[in-house]
Structure 1
Amino acid sequence: MSFLRRTGKPRLAGVDAARGLALLGMMATHIVPLVTQDATGGYTPTWAADWFAGRASALFAVLAGVGLALLTGGARAAGPLGGARRGVVVRALLIAGIGLACGMLDTNVAVILTHYGLLFLAAVPFLGAAPRTLAAWAAGWLVLAPVVLYAAVPFVMAGVAPYDVGGSPVFADLTRPATLAADLLFTGYYPVVVWVGFLLVGLWAGRLDLSRPPIALALALGGAALAAVAEVSSRWLLQLPGAAPSLAAAAGLDTRQLQLGVETGYYFPPVVDSPWWFALAAPHTSAPLDLLHVTGAALATLGACQLAAMGLAALLGRYGDALLWPLTGAGTITLTLYVGHLIALDVLSDVTASMPRLDLYLWFAAACLVAGVAVRFLAIRGPLEAIVHRAASGVRRTGVRA
């Protein structure tokens, strides 16, 4: 099992801690209901929706970009990247394949991994870009991609029947490429044509010197400000005369459904045929203010985690680093833990059906944190991370020798 052993340069603890938080957040949205029935018979968002809906998956994607940047040199990226690009392509294909396999599990989860692999492929042309170039591309993508989505989705839905895969992509969907492409790029839960923006933001952040406290502080404060401005702007716009009724009518929702949709992302189609769609910051709507809000939240989380990691290390030395082992360790094996929790949700469905969802989530979260401590203590990779690393490294080294 020597292939599990971790080697190489030290990791950024704050990045791993943020990745661990993203994993726990995504698990919360998978296990804990996003809405609960109140005393009046209506529905209200749960804590999982308030804290993690839309934000955890976007943080996961942003951190994928950070990881790619660190994989190719971080702030000191230089030299030919041909081997690195080949390695990223192999990673993308393996992760997408794992995602297609996970889609066959009975979990009622929108599996992100196939989209994740496609995002890796989309990042390949940008691996050698400078931070300023990446910042310009990321900003432009986040602003313009929703416009492209808004214009394209009606044509895609009219021209492709069915236009989505009905949940998570599986291998059988490869036999209907038009539907699969429509789902992955435009109409699915994670439309890649929009989500590339998150990866570009992560690449930009990863090209900064994250080990410097001023950089981490700027990300934390700037990200928080961006998230707050986007959220406040959306609320103000939706309170303008005619905004909510027009949006509800276009989406086919009543007033209560619209309010719940704004808070949780429920009920909305891929886009709503109303100009007021651009005022939404609801989770997974891919509207401009939604993208800006979750991007800001992701950068704020990354900056705050990096500040916390550096602060604990400065105050307590190696003991400070050890305090973060549960999160940082889980953050180094997110692929294994993500796939593992999907398998467990399927295999243990009969056993856990009667368990309170919060209790079930706490068991899963505790298992992830214990696994995080174990991999940090043993200095090893997760099984799936080791397989992907070995395959990508083999292609990369082959390219260098050639």
Structure 2
Amino acid sequence: MLAIELLSPVRLALRVTPFALGIFYLIILGFGALDSQLKKFSFAVVAITAFGIFNPYINSYFSAVAQIGLTLSVWSPIFWVDRIRISIKDVQKICLILWLFNSLSAFFGVLQVYYPERFAIDLSFSKQITDTSFDGLKITLDDGTQLIRPTGLSDSPGGAALAANTAIIMGVGTGLVYRSLLLRLMIALTIILSLFSLYICQVRSLLILTGLSIFAMSLLLVFRGRLVRALAIYTAALIAIVISFAWATSVGSNAVNKRLDTLTESSVAETYYTNRGVFLEKALFDDLFEYPLGAGPGRWGMMAYYFGDKTNWVNPMLWAEITVSGWVYDGGLPLLIVGYGAMLIGFVSAVRIAILTSSDSLSNFASIVAAVSLGCFAATISSHVFVTQQGMIYLMLLSVLLVVNRSEELKPRLKTNAPPER
């Protein structure tokens, strides 16, 4: 719907709807008690952002309120998910649904490469893309064809890469949860398609994050003593990488190889600094000292674009390329501390459950959440996470994991305390 030009007048409403649903569930189901460290830290993230409404540096009250609402929406699953009943079967359905939708988006990315005139999305009506930036969003195939980086089922150039990343992680996890041979063959096919989209989209950070996530999932399987399954994942991943890379280079060898060569031309640190490290350095050594308690919410990103006051030259809109910059602007050092604190608690919880739980199904799901959590950690210094649906999905998965784990831990106690049968 976002990609249909006729619906461009209601693009804002379409973008807001998924986030509004988060707040809707929060209103219907309630906050619940702040009975865990994760909830307390998450509440602090929202509270610090909300307190920024009193910051004298805010650009406009409209954009500030919008940013506070966005933050509340993204972090809302932490508060409302445990208000509903969730079982292991529900977890399996969640993995399956996320795999299917993201695989479909990655598949559309492939179609947009081979049949751009039919499946490529016209982004010329998007106000966010200027004529000068349009050329930088294109790739050139070996036959000379120029096309926008595959968007998948989104209106963002390169959007198929994010879907591919999620499809691969969820695909591996779904393959661990379900025993069906046919389903596993389908998963293998979608992983190859997703890797093709990752290569063609040329989003190096997501390519690295995907590899780290799969490595983390396999490592957790090793800690569980499931060496054969971990080796199977490594072997399957290696085969998929070789096939998809050969496929991608057969279509756009110059574009793919030139992009990947930048990862080996210099050290990882130098490559990162050249592309995203400068933003991290500015956030920590310039912006943080200028705005130790934040510059006020709503001064950057889409909330500033839609609701900011462009005539306010005293407190103009700011540019934030990564999550760290956004957190510094929204709440300064306090928001950085509680934001990373919440992520650390979530990651440690997922790893602990993956290793210690007696349920293999829950362990598999915890491995997925740990992998996604690790990816989100890395994404905070390379892109935006917690103002997107990606962040909301991660927090939803983490909350589901903790709810199901709690119910699994209660089962032995319920059996022990059950009244004797008559």
Same fold? TM cut 0.5: no
| TM-score, reference length from structure 1 | 0.27
